[in-house]
Structure 1
Amino acid sequence: MGITCLLYLPSAPSTAVDHINERLTDDLDFTELDEPWLVTCRSYRDQVAMRQRAAANSGPKAGSNSSYVPKIQYLLTFGHVEKMFSMVATMGGRRTGENAGKGETGIVVEVDRDFELILTKLKNLWTKRQEVVVEGIAYEHGDYIIRIGSMRIGGELVRGLFVQAENVKLEGSSSAALPGLRGVLRGALQGIPGISDIELTLALHGRSMRKQASALNAEESANKLGALKKTESMTMPTKRPADVAIRDPKRPRIQIPEADLDGNDWHEYAAVRLREDEFTRAHEAYQFFRLFRQEGLL
């Protein structure tokens, strides 16, 4: 496989899909693929802490046992991949901002589909908590695939869109590929009705900037994000904004800030025991795990 970049736009309406479709097919010559985009992620919470609390509350030293940190296990499947992927991590999400990566204590592994059948039989150890399904459309042009999907949680449709860009031919480290893929995503999404420029910029540059922006007042946030957008779009064409990024992914016109070019990219694969010098489906799965965790979706 190639290398992927995933973002989530929580405020984007479902009507934005039609405008993105028009941008991709009419302006950027993408072709809709027959195979839909389908991603399913389920979470299971361990029962160790619950049993310990029950035992402690019924014993002479009630409430004294609180050292155990509850665990949560995620199982993710792609509609077009036979294997599934598991991540076991601590409850309570993860740290962001300056402490990004330091709070991720999980591990991501590839498992057989039969693994979930075994897990469902271990109800005394793991109990199903939540299910998220992302379903949508995939488009292809040259070496690129762009996928757009809406989300259902517990069967209920939730506002917001997931968008993924993949360069199917590019190989190497994620830190070298992400700037080009971010440029492709910005070109495909910028100016789409219902997608604000501020939310797009925050989605492209990770959760840490979103938290920083929320801590500022509206004027300070607009100034900070405006400066970043000016840096990115300094030479952006006014028509067909993603043409350059699509045709020349190694030298996109979008200027990415230096912070996004270092080796410690925001996916932090090393924190979950994944190699940093190659990209696999397990790396792609972690992009979903990380996004679901930091958005509080699972």
Structure 2
Amino acid sequence: MSTTTTLRPAAGEAEQPPTADPTATPPRPRRRPQRSAYLFLLPWILGAVLLTIGPMVTSLYLSFTDYDLFSSPSWVGFDNYQRLFTEDPRFWASVRVTLTYVLVSVPLQLAIALGVALLLNRPRRGIGFYRSALYAPSLLGASISLALAWKALFSTGGTVPNLLASIGLDTGGWTDDPDLAIYAVVALTLWQFGAPMVIFLAGLKQIPRDLYEAAALDGAGKVRQFFSVTLPMLTPVLLFNLVLGIIHAFQSFTGPYVISNGRGGPGDSTLVYTLYLYQRGFTDFRMGTASAMAWLLLLAIAVVTALLFATSRRWVFYAGEEN
């Protein structure tokens, strides 16, 4: 009869743990945390699909159709795009007005925001109050009530024309002059410089003080320090504000709509792109054309943003990088 001998560790030796079987199947991970994450993300996913992705796909389809909101859309291919480029002079007028508005309002707003941020960056009594007061107009945004007040200020007999007439500049009502109406809209945008101002102020706080001390030791004055230290160190913030400012300017609607009573006048001088898009979709009931205009606007913003980021390598300086 054979017997099985079990080897036991000698006295004083630690017992070795059993060796894992390499052919054994590893335990399956628990999926409950993943399911909980998807459950919490479900409202956002539904909102993105129903309120963003779904309408975008529908708009893309409608841009290739003839649709008047009351009958079923009929497929027309690229006809809407072709008519916009070849048969619609008001489309090109809206493009011209929008480019003028963007090229004038965005640089001026950023310049004002940076100048005010430089003033608010100095320590002084009551600085918190001044920062809050200067940011307050941005909280109002492009509200209808604010645009109505702005229209009253710049219309014939308004405060601004009367003040200019008192110093010998008889411009008349800006909102009634085709050459000045768009600048009343620009002035409404300039007044809302609070958001870029706060971003510039945060960027100024991040600039090391020793850079200014080194520049002062080299004999640089305040102006030289601004162009040699402040402005280069603020270029990442400037890029951020520039991209946001251009996107918001391309999408401007409330101010031009209220100031021109929804018509883009006088003489289409305030007919920005979004206002004409609204007219084509909800006044002329050409929803297919309006959808095509919306996608052209999206493409234009994407191209401009891509160009800004592509050229930023030449003028944006990041601290710590080697030139």
TMscore range, shorter length: under 0.3
Which is helix-richer, 1 or 2? 2
TM-score, normalisation: structure 1: 0.25
Which is strand-richer, 1 or 2? 1
TM-score, normalisation: structure 2: 0.24
